[in-house]
């Protein structure tokens, strides 16, 4: 195990090359049971991710905080962006893949 600045507990030395040692993790939300599928939207300066057990998707805006993006989310988990920058989400509850336009549709 390699200790990096008391922030990370590294069990495989190869991990050390993947992190910035002085970058400090910051807690941005409470009450998330199982956060998964984070996607960054640089043009909107926001992070979107899923919380499967709570059946919600969340959005974080630096300086403004965290708020519900979509609820219910049909137990969404995996998220990504397509080549046009739209949000693409896998939903357990509906067994489908959805695409969200920039206007929210």
Mean pLDDT, rounded, for 58-86: 95
Mean pLDDT over each residue of the chain, to the nearest integer? 89
Torsion angle defined by CA atoms of residues 4, 6, 9 and 13, in that order, rounded to the nearest 10 degrees: 10
Domain boundaries, the chain: 1-30, 33-105
pLDDT at 24: 75
Phi, psi torsion values for 44, nearest 5 degrees: -110, 0
What letter does residue 9 receive in the DSSP assignment?
E
- pLDDT band for position 90 (50/70/90)? very high
CATH number of 33-105: 2.40.10.500
| Predicted TM-score (pTM) of this structure | 0.80
High-pLDDT (> 90) share of the chain, %: 68
**Is residue 28 within 8 Å of residue 66, measured between CB atoms?**
yes
Distance in Å from the first CA to the final CA of the chain: 47
C-alpha span between 16 and 52 (Å, rounded): 30
Which pair of tokens denotes residue 89?
């989400």
């Amino acid at each position: 195990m390699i200790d990096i600045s008391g922030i990370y507990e590294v069990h495989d030395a190869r991990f050390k090359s993947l992190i910035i040692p002085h970058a400090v993790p910051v807690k941005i939300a409470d009450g998330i049971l199982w956060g998964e599928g984070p996607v960054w939207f640089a043009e909107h300066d926001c992070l979107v991710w899923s919380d499967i057990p709570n059946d919600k998707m969340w959005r974080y805006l630096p300086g403004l905080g965290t708020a519900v993006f979509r609820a219910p989310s049909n137990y969404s988990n995996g998220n990504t962006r397509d080549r046009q920058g739209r949000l693409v989400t896998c939903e357990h509850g509906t067994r489908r893949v959805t695409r969200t336009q920039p206007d929210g549709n």
